[in-house]
């Protein structure tokens, strides 16, 4: 959901979100400044009280937008999960044919930041928890210091010595992964 005023910057306290039954809003907003006149609401967490439909309404700077949300009785399967790096990174990496990270070369002692995306019916899915693991004990994985990772959260890979590892990412019904080759920094 994108809220865009024509020339005024939206202040965080001016954005109001409201959920209807059976969903209720439980968490704060994630923010990203795109240009000086535009703020994008990145993430809103909803908890469903039961199956059915709910309406999420956002109001900011005089603009109101609503979206209908279908609440399923069980978690829906995902069509794809992908590991991604910033395309502007100067690290050597390769993607597979579906656009997910397949191989990465990372320098010792320098954390590499990436993120995981998930899709269902060719649409992005947010708030999905995933597990990330490594085949090498010297590789350190973290999700912004959080104990659980969620889709679109930054995940960090780091190592204190050169080694190779397989990184595995699992979410709901899917698993993906990539190879990381840690080398001495030049």
Kindly state whether residues 114 and 143 are assigned to the same domain. Answer: yes
- Higher pLDDT among residues 108 and 142, named by residue: 108
Q: Is the pLDDT of residue 142 over 70?
A: yes
- Using an 8 Å Cβ cutoff, are 15 and 9 in contact? no
* Per-residue pLDDT at 29: 47
- Higher pLDDT among residues 138 and 59, named by residue: 138
| pLDDT tens digits for range 103-134 | 999 999 888 888 888 999 988 887 788 888 88
Kindly state whether residues 104 and 146 are assigned to the same domain. Answer: yes
Residue 179 lies in domain: 80-183
What is the band of 45 on the pLDDT scale with cuts at 50, 70, 90?
low
Number of domains within the chain: 2
Assess whether the previous peptide bond of 85 is cis (omega < 30° from 0): no
4 lies in some domain: no
- Using an 8 Å Cβ cutoff, are 182 and 137 in contact? no
The tokens of 176 are what? 């993906």
Report the relative pairing of strands 154-159 and 112-120 from DSSP bridges. Answer: antiparallel
Kindly state whether residues 59 and 87 are assigned to the same domain. Answer: no
Tell me the mean pLDDT in the region 72-98.
87
What is the band of 68 on the pLDDT scale with cuts at 50, 70, 90?
confident
């Amino acid at each position: 959901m994108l809220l865009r005023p024509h020339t005024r910057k939206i202040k965080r306290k001016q954005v109001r979100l409201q959920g209807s039954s059976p969903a209720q809003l439980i968490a704060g907003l994630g923010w990203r400044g795109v240009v000086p006149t535009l703020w994008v609401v990145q993430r809103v967490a909803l908890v469903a009280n039961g199956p059915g439909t709910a309406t999420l309404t956002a109001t900011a700077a005089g603009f109101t937008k609503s979206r209908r949300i279908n609440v399923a009785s069980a978690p829906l399967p995902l069509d794809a999960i992908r590991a991604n790096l910033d395309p502007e990174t100067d690290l050597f990496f390769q993607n597979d044919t579906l656009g997910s990270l397949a191989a990465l070369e990372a320098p010792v002692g320098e954390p590499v930041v990436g993120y995981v995306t998930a899709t269902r019916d060719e649409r992005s899915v947010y708030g999905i928890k995933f597990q990330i693991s490594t085949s090498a004990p010297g590789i350190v994985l973290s999700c912004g210091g959080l104990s659980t990772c969620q889709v679109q959260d930054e995940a960090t890979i780091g190592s204190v010595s050169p080694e190779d590892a397989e990184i595995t990412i699992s979410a709901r019904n899917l698993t993906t992964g990539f190879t990381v080759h840690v080398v001495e920094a030049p």
